[in-house]
Amino acid sequence: MIRRSFLAALAFAAALPVAAWAEAPLKVVATTGMIADAARQIGGDQVEVKGLMGPGVDPHAYRQTRSDIVAMTRADLILWHGLYLEAQMENFFHDLGRKRPVVAVAEGVDKSKLRAHDDYADKYDPHVWMSPAVWRDVVVEVQKALTDARPEAADAFAANTQAFLAEIDQLEAYGKQVLAEVPENNRVLVTAHDAFGYFGEEYGYEVLGIQGISTQSEAGLNRIGELVDTLVDQQLTAVFVESSVSDRSMRALIEGAAAKGHDVGIGGELYSDAMGEPGTYEGTYIGMLDHNISVIAGALGADVPERGMNGKLSAGS
């Protein structure tokens, strides 16, 4: 009788799917493509990452869909940016954080590295991915969150993080090199909204957005008039459109300059708040910034490698 129940207990233990449970990838949901990419680079085959915001999606305006909510209720870990980037989802994430493991990864950046927000005295500019040096801190936060969720994979996560940080260092150095080749009086970046503040600070560029730090603020006619004057006065000939923001106000700027007899063209399309298509080089963090750096430097007068830092950019970008 005793022997029989012992065997039954053994059979029961053997039937428990212990091995399968340990090997199932950690289900991670991330808001922006940039965070999803960091989770994939660090997590490798230990994670299954779902990014909520695809190419061309504006995080300032994004609201969770029904299928996003389903994915988040099934996730082992939810990563969002914070710093008021996902402004329409703040309350949602604060509520969700009481029930699920939810981490705002950009909130971990050392405050001394953050730029002030133009519109809110108590907030920071959220666009930290634009500076490889600042994004490093976010990558380390993602590593911590994944390690907390799956401590047994800590060594693999640490090794993958080191490899990813080395690529980010290479990207930073490439940016410093090619952006410094732009003539000094041309180091002005005119874009649809103020997403490039950290970029400007890191690489020594003046950055002028038609809209403020959020795309939700109004692009006033006054602002367009001011920027037209700047383009004419400083003899700037290139402005940049963004993949996640309408180019309507950018066209108004070009027309305004033309009316004053000054020719301005589109220097290229930049990935400001969303990455490129999944499965492409531009659909990774490194590719997104390589694209931006190469397009900006090239349009403003530097001699850049045709296909960017790694020879991987799509032709014609």
**Candidates 22-30, 48-56, 68-76, 189-197; binding stretch for Zn ion (CB under 5 A):** 189-197
DSSP 169: H
| 47 lies in the binding site for Zn ion (CB under 5 A) | no
Question: Is residue 128 at the binding interface for Zn ion, with CB under 5 A as the rule?
Answer: no
202-239 residues labelled b (16+ CB within 10 A) or e (exposed): bbebebbbbbbbbbebebeeebbeebbebbeeeebbbb
| Shortest Å, Cβ 299 to Zn ion | 20
Q: Does 273 bind Zn ion (CB under 5 A)?
A: yes
Q: Cβ 211 to Zn ion, closest distance in Å?
A: 9
Closest distance to Zn ion from the beta carbon of 60 (Å): 6
User: How many residues interact with Zn ion (rule CB under 5 A)?
Assistant: 2
The Cα 157–Cα 59 span in angstroms is 27
- Whole-angstrom CA distances from 231 to 80, 207, 257 are 37, 12, 7
H runs (alpha helix) in the chain: 2-15, 18-23, 33-43, 66-74, 90-96, 132-149, 154-179, 197-203, 221-233, 248-259, 285-299
With contacts defined by CB under 5 A, name the span among 19-27, 38-46, 133-141, 191-199 that binds Zn ion.
Answer: 191-199
Nearer to Zn ion, 89 or 195 (CB): 195
Sign of the Cα torsion 248, 249, 252, 257 reads: negative
Residue 195 in contact with Zn ion, rule: CB under 5 A: yes
Closer to Zn ion by CB, 86 or 273: give it: 273
C-beta of 197: minimal distance to Zn ion in Å? 10
Output the smallest distance, CB 191 to Zn ion, in A.
Answer: 10
* Residues forming the site for Zn ion (CB under 5 A): 195, 273
